[in-house]
Amino acid sequence: VVDITKLYAQTGAFTFDPGFTSTASCESKITYIDGDEGVLLYRGYPIEQLAEHGDFLETCYLLYYGELPTPSQRKEFDKNITYHTMVHEQMTRFFQGFRRDAHPMAVMVAVVGAMSAFYHDSTDINDARQREIASHRMIAKLPTIAAMAYKYHIGQPFVYPQNSLSYSANFLRMCFAVPCEEYVVNPILARAMDRIFILHADHEQNASTSTVRLAGSSGANPFACIAAGIACLWGPAHGGANEAALEMLKEIGDPAKVPEFIAKVKDKTSHIRLMGFGHRVYKNYDPRAKIMQKTAHEVLTELGIKDDPLLEVARVLEQAALSDPYFIERKLYPNVDFYSGIILRALGFPTSMFTVLFALARTVGWISQWKEMIEDPNQKIGRPRQLYTGAPRRDYVPVTQRG
Ligand code: ACO
């Protein structure tokens, strides 16, 4: 049934590459990864430098426009983003349609998809100004929508944005302030949040980014494309891994139980994976994991959490895996999600919000990749081929004559 010769004749070349392990789907100037060396660059700048010296909005500018902003560009960008932080008041009612116990990611997929109904004046993808406004709107409104999803989930009133605060401080306030009490954002925690956003901002052609590009290649509006990306990110092998990693650390519970857990992971019949470990591209330590580990220590120290049992389980688990031949041979190292859950939990987020925070941060990466694709004069609709392995041609049999 599989006629490679015919496929080859039709196309001049035919590759079968499930999971795209060795096929580039596009050209891009945004993010560079060297998986063997553990290098991650945004527009040429090392992630370590951006996380240490920059802030998230500057990173957004860099990813989207290609250069770090000058002071006046930065001022203008901040103005554009803060202008859009509020959401249409009718969107608040949209939330009421969900069950309180709905997973916040389900709410995010729906509400971000619905933005095209609320902001249809920025859905014309052929108009550069509308594309830019849609992009600003998403970078600005995702924190508001994510915070609303959280507040709705826990039954508290929504908190409106406060534009005098930084992007991350404003987000923490929208999540944790309550109307009856004063809330002062802790700058060290806001900085940690900002760093988590920087580390998650882009990661070239991962599953969700490829989903955004594929959706966008048909000419779908940007809000619909980002909603598709959020849906893809939700999976436990991708963005859902930080939630799964923390659940795993809780399940292990005690550093003494690490060897038993590692043995279970190595037993293939268990189908258990060490969550927060391994990466399709990094076959060396994920550079983001190192920054995340350092940030975890800073946050726990600031909050006065000494001897966090989960951090101890994570530390022992990492050491055990890094010296175990199973993980060494397969080049499995901690990824960005191994330590992020510990920080997010310490900041006060429930595990169900972890992937939402990832989606918030990745929105700028998705929208930058979408923009790059739309502006490419050679852009084509994405249309993978397949190897057909089903039945050969056969004739229809009426139902009365079957069986
Ligand atoms: N725990 C145990 N074994 C693993 C793990 C893991 N976390 N990851 C891979 N392996 C093993 C596989 O069982 C396989 O072993 P085999 O050769 O004996 O069959 C081998 O390593 C190769 O695994 P693949 O699944 O082929 O590797 P792939 O590159 O396709 O997978 C992935 C990458 C999905 C990230 C995988 O490592 C994984 O499932 N990790 C856990 C989930 C996770 O942390 N995801 C977050 C990724 S980062 C992000 O999205 C931000």
Q: Whose CA is nearest to atom 20 of ligand 1?
A: 330
Q: What are phi and psi of 334, to 5 degrees?
A: -60, 140
> What's the pLDDT tens digit per position in 277-299?
999 889 888 999 999 989 998 99
Q: Cα angle vertex 370, ends 114, 134, to 5°?
A: 45
Q: Which of 239, 225, 197, 233 is nearest to 115 (CA)?
A: 225
Answer yes or no: 337 catalytic: yes
Interhelix angle 128-154/71-83, rounded to 10 degrees, is 60
Q: CA neighbours within 13 Å on the CB side: how many for 67?
A: 5
Cβ 51 under 6 angstroms from ligand 1:
no
**45: enclosing H helix or E strand:** strand 45-46
For CA atoms 205, 207, 213, 218, the dihedral sign is positive
Beta carbons of 215 and 236 less than 8 angstroms apart:
no
For the entire predicted model, the pTM comes to 0.91
Answer yes or no: 34 catalytic: no
pLDDT at 325 over 90: yes
Which residues, including other chains, have CB under 8 Å from residue 283's CB and lie 6 or more apart? Answer: 35, 36, 331, 333
Task: Give the residue, out of 286, 326, 332, 333, with the most ligand 1 atoms within 8 A of its beta carbon, to mutate for a pocket test.
Answer: 332
- Distance from C-alpha of 95 to C-alpha of 162, rounded to nearest angstrom: 21
pLDDT class of 2 with cuts at 50, 70, 90: low
What is the predicted pLDDT for the residue at 269? Answer: 96
Beta carbons of 316 and 338 less than 8 angstroms apart:
no
Range name among 12-26, 261-275, 374-388 with the lowest pLDDT average: 12-26
Q: Please tell me which residue in 202, 279, 286, 308 is annotated as part of the active site.
A: 279
Residue 42 forms beta bridges with which residues?
Answer: 31, 45
